[in-house]
Structure 1
Amino acid sequence: MGSEPPILRALETSTADPRYPPTPPATPKRHQTRVATAGCETAPVGLWVIDLDGVVWRGPEAVPGSPDAVASLLERGDRVVFCTNDAAGPADKAEHLRRLGVPACPVITSADAVVAACADAAAVLVLGRPGLVRYLGDSGLPVTDVASLPDGGSLDGVDVVVVGALEDWDRSRIGMAADAVRSGARFLAANDDATFPTAGPDGPRLLPGNGALVAAVATAAGRSPEIAGKPHAPMASVIVERHGPVDVVVGDKPETDGALAVALGARYGLVLSGVTSAADLPADPAPWAVGADLADLVGASGAGRP
């Protein structure tokens, strides 16, 4: 990393909410791209922020070698924080990691970023899974699950609409969220990921992500959302406030993980075990290193360490 501190430069250019801008800095800090299998520059001992879907696991299964890769980082003195745009509570993700044999490390999800972004909310309407509703409520937010309201029920007093993710889309629920946004409520998406990788019967598969649900609400309401998750400022702020300066961000999506690295002034390690393949290279922002998977990237980044 350079000498500049990981200050969130994005905080200087706000749009919808002066506290939380919707986009990271426009000019990325570029590092030379190196292919991990050919050897990359040795990474300094420090904090690694690692994505989950497509990096540590695909659906219910671990990406081969990822548990040992995390263990290797910890053994050589690095710190690890897992950071996902999934809107589940962090305890759910920590339990999945435990089942896969991944060493215990702190977990941050986009639900944490939503909590930070809604600190001053008076009434939060949530379009999302029960786990998100429960986590926001347990964190002290005054929440109402849109699923608990009758069709066409009163939305009086709602000042924030949060869109997480749903297993089954319901037109009535989407319509009620859009009604509240049209009536002036703040529109906050946990993330706008277009897809997420999972394990399919014939190999890796991409399913529609929360961005598709967010787009449905935005289209119906005629408003664009603020985004809480990666690579935006609410998530970046949570990471820095809890864990301090970041040295390496690892993920499979340059537009989220790479952009988060730019916002944090960190190196970006791109893995090809998720949504990005070798055919998609070169990536933007340019990664510091590219690995076939997390084990490949971690192994090469530690070469030459004493």
Structure 2
Amino acid sequence: MSQETGGPLRGCDRPLIKHYGTGVFDLDGVVYRGGHPVPHAAAVLADVARHGVRRLFLTNNSSRTPGEVAAVLLGLGIAADEEQVVTSAETAARMASELLPPHARVLVVGGAAVETALRRRGLAPVRSLDAGPVAVVQGFAPEVDWRQLAEASYAIARGVPWIASDVDLRITREHGIAPGNGTLVNAIRVATGRDPLVAGKPEDAIFAEAARRSSGACLVVGDGLSTDVAGARRNGLDSALVLTGVSTVDALLEAPPSARPTYLVADLRGLFSSWPAVHRQRDGFACGGWTARWEAGKLAVLDDDGVPAGNEAVSVDSVVNAVRALCHAVWAAQDAGRKAEAGRNARWLLEWPGQEGLR
């Protein structure tokens, strides 16, 4: 595998997934959106298994048990069992069990999946402050309402430990982007002035749980820069960002070093592609027939014939290579403390029409 120059993105001279023993896949925005599959996901995941790569599914969504997640995957044509599923609810329950004595009462914000996870750890979930909880565990569920948030706020204000499954502000659903658990966590933060311990990505606990079930080198595959990618980097793991969920090309270009992926693919099919290295040139960065360089103080992206990016007929992988070159140019400028302004044709990549097709 070749390390690219000028940034964290890498190239590889054989199919990307073949460099790893385990693929750790996010779910929302990568495998499905709400109740609908992401195009090509089932076929690619079947190919991953056929190539002998272990598959784990790592999700910040705490509204389903591992068994329920496995059933959803099976319904989408993806064979999986609950041992392959790691949820933030499970991880939060493990954290609570390490803080509390057996059978301790824990006030739950969230759905039945959080209660199930706590019971599996020998704790007693309750729903009222009157039950005398000694901790609060908060997870996402569509039925979470003001009463649940209020009960938790009363307990947290009294000083009991507070564990949040995740602090994702946004989640991907079939109709678009919706508020995530982090928006509800913030409501309690404002009410109590306290911050929770966090179980899910990008924090370490959920990745530690995945590591316990992994075999060989791990590749984290996700759509979130601040969750999947940042968490992978914090835990010394490689990551591949897909553009089928919450992250856009524009967001990728603005990513700080701590949230820049090891690889970029349009969708899961890119795991079976090889990727050329990005090379620094005198006036910019080149990758796969594209060069991102400075012209009149702005970044332009041109092909080998000097034609600007902006042709919707080029292949998806070709567009990804153009974006990779642009990323290196923008990040190099940002890391040097300079403003990187994209010219008109580079803006086409940021607003690339194909991104909507991926979603």
Q: TM-score range by the shorter chain?
A: 0.7 to 0.9
Identity %: 32
CA distance in 2 between partners of 1:126 and 1:287 (Å): 34
Moved over 6 A (4+): none
Q: Secondary structure at the match of 1:125?
A: strand
1:137 has 2:115 as partner: no
Residue in 2 that maps onto 1:110: 88
By how many angstroms is 1:243 displaced? Answer: 2.6
By how many angstroms is 1:70 displaced? Answer: 0.8
Cα distance change, pair 198–252 in 1 and its aligned pair in 2 (3 A): same
Using structure 1 for the length normalisation, give the TM-score: 0.79
Equivalent residue in structure 2 for 1:286, among 249, 260, 270: 260
Cα distance change, pair 260–299 in 1 and its aligned pair in 2 (3 A): same
Alignment check: 8 A CA contact 1:31 1:287 kept? no
Q: Deviations over 1:32-82 (max 9, x none)?
A: 32589x997675131110100000011111111001111111111211101
Alignment check: 8 A CA contact 2:204 2:235 kept? no
Alignment check: 8 A CA contact 1:49 1:246 kept? no
CA distance in 1 between partners of 2:190 and 2:206 (Å): 25
| Residue range with higher mean Cα deviation, 134-143 or 117-126 | 134-143
Cα distance change, pair 42–141 in 1 and its aligned pair in 2 (3 A): closer
1:198 has 2:154 as partner: no
Q: Secondary structure at the match of 2:19?
A: coil
Alignment check: 8 A CA contact 1:35 1:291 kept? no
CA distance in 2 between partners of 1:102 and 1:302 (Å): 26
In the TM superposition, 1:1-306 aligns within 5 A as 32-33=8-9, 43-87=18-62, 88-104=64-80, 106-120=84-98, 121=100, 122-144=104-126, 146=127, 149=128, 153-154=129-130, 156=132, 158-200=133-175, 205-243=176-214, 246-282=217-253, 283-284=255-256, 285-296=259-270, 298-301=271-274
Q: Which runs of 5+ in 2 are unaligned?
A: 277-359
By how many angstroms is 1:187 displaced? Answer: 1.0
Cα distance change, pair 254–246 in 1 and its aligned pair in 2 (3 A): farther
Residue in 2 that maps onto 1:26: none
By how many angstroms is 1:112 displaced? Answer: 1.5
Letter of the 1:119 counterpart: S
Greater relative CO, 1 or 2 (CA 8 Å, sep 6+): 1
Using structure 2 for the length normalisation, give the TM-score: 0.68
Letter of the 1:112 counterpart: E
CA distance in 2 between partners of 1:113 and 1:245 (Å): 22
Alignment check: 8 A CA contact 1:55 1:63 kept? yes
Q: Secondary structure at the match of 1:154?
A: helix
Alignment check: 8 A CA contact 1:246 1:264 kept? no
| Residue range with higher mean Cα deviation, 245-254 or 206-215 | 245-254
Greater CA radius of gyration, 1 or 2?
Answer: 2
Alignment check: 8 A CA contact 2:40 2:269 kept? yes
Letter of the 2:260 counterpart: A
CA distance in 1 between partners of 2:269 and 2:218 (Å): 18
By how many angstroms is 1:288 displaced? Answer: 1.8
Cα distance change, pair 247–31 in 1 and its aligned pair in 2 (3 A): farther
Looking at secondary structure, tell me which structure has more helix per residue: 2
